[in-house]
């Protein structure tokens, strides 16, 4: 493994943007729902979210989790939502920059300024956010490449997903630092030969500081 990594590879939802769990109030206002209607909290309250626990136990996939939540929220507004992008667009599509983590914005810009190459490796960026979302989020212009399983069909933690990111960058995996909020995906990256950081959605500043520390960049 070389002394200094060259690229920072980020998951998107949860790492670059706030999770839908964190923006329930915004979603409720956008959809005209009573405050407190959305009670599922995923990693912020797993004890009261059995569906989340099933996903964490690999009984269902992350996509299955969000398919269920999408159907539930659609039903609350009297609509049949067939895909996650409908949920995301209705909940936060009007102002995509409003849901970017401020810590993510600072960290990404700091890495870019230091000459670190940037990539996104997502299981469902366009599937969840819609194909036009990228054009409406200027921060994404700093990324050299985006590898999205919406199109490749290869989901993390499959080793081929990480290799596809390395190939897109033209770098060996050992020169990449991968960041994801799902432990299984971090484990997959480590097994594939990447350096990796588990992103704690409850402590985003700490997680970004750890990621940038691999490059000798102080996070503030």
* pLDDT band of 2, cuts 50, 70, 90: low
pLDDT on residue 93: 60
- pLDDT single digits (tens) 58-73: 999 988 999 999 999 9
Domain residue ranges of the chain, discontinuous segments joined by +: 7-17+100-213, 24-95
Distances (CA, A) of 13 to 47, 82, 209, 219: 22, 20, 18, 21
- pLDDT single digits (tens) 21-48: 999 998 999 999 999 999 999 999 999 9
Of the ranges 89-93, 114-118, 136-140, 211-215, which one carries the lowest mean pLDDT score? 89-93
Mapped onto helix, strand or coil, the DSSP state of residue 213 is helix
CATH fold label, 7-17+100-213: Rossmann fold (3.40.50)
- pLDDT single digits (tens) 177-204: 999 999 999 999 999 999 999 999 999 9
* Residues 13, 124 contacting (CB under 8 angstroms): yes
Q: What is the DSSP letter of 33?
A: P
Between 189 and 90, where is the model more confident? Answer: 189
pLDDT on residue 119: 98
Mean pLDDT, the chain, integer: 94
- pLDDT single digits (tens) 124-177: 999 888 888 888 899 999 999 999 999 999 999 999 999 999 999 999 999 999
Identify which of 130, 153, 110 has the alpha carbon closest to the alpha carbon of residue 12: 130
pLDDT above 70 as % of the chain: 98
* Residues 9, 179 contacting (CB under 8 angstroms): yes
Burial (Cβ within 10 Å: 0-12, 13-18, ≥19) of residue 174: middle
Distances (CA, A) of 115 to 73, 130, 143, 147, 169: 42, 29, 12, 20, 14
């Amino acid at each position: 493994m070389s002394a200094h990594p060259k690229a920072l590879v980020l998951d998107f939802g949860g790492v670059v943007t706030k999770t839908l769990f964190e923006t329930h109030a915004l979603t409720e206002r956008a959809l005209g729902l009573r405050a407190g209607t959305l009670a599922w909290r995923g990693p912020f309250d797993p004890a009261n979210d059995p569906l989340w626990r099933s996903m964490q136990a690999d009984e269902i996939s992350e996509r299955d989790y969000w398919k269920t939540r999408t159907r539930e929220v659609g039903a609350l507004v009297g609509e049949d939502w067939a895909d996650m992008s409908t949920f995301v667009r209705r909940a936060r599509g009007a102002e995509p920059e409003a849901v970017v983590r401020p810590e993510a914005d600072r960290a990404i810009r700091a890495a870019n300024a230091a000459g670190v190459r940037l990539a996104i490796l997502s299981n469902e960026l366009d599937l969840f956010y819609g194909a036009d979302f990228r054009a409406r989020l200027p921060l994404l212009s700093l990324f050299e490449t985006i590898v999205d399983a919406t199109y490749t069909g290869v989901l993390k933690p499959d080793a081929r997903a990480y290799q596809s990111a390395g190939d897109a960058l033209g770098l060996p995996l050992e020169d990449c630092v991968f960041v994801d909020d799902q432990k299984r995906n971090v484990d997959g990256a480590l097994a594939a030969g990447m350096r990796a950081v588990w992103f704690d959605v409850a402590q985003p500043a700490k997680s970004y500081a750890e990621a940038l520390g691999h490059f000798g960049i102080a996070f503030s």
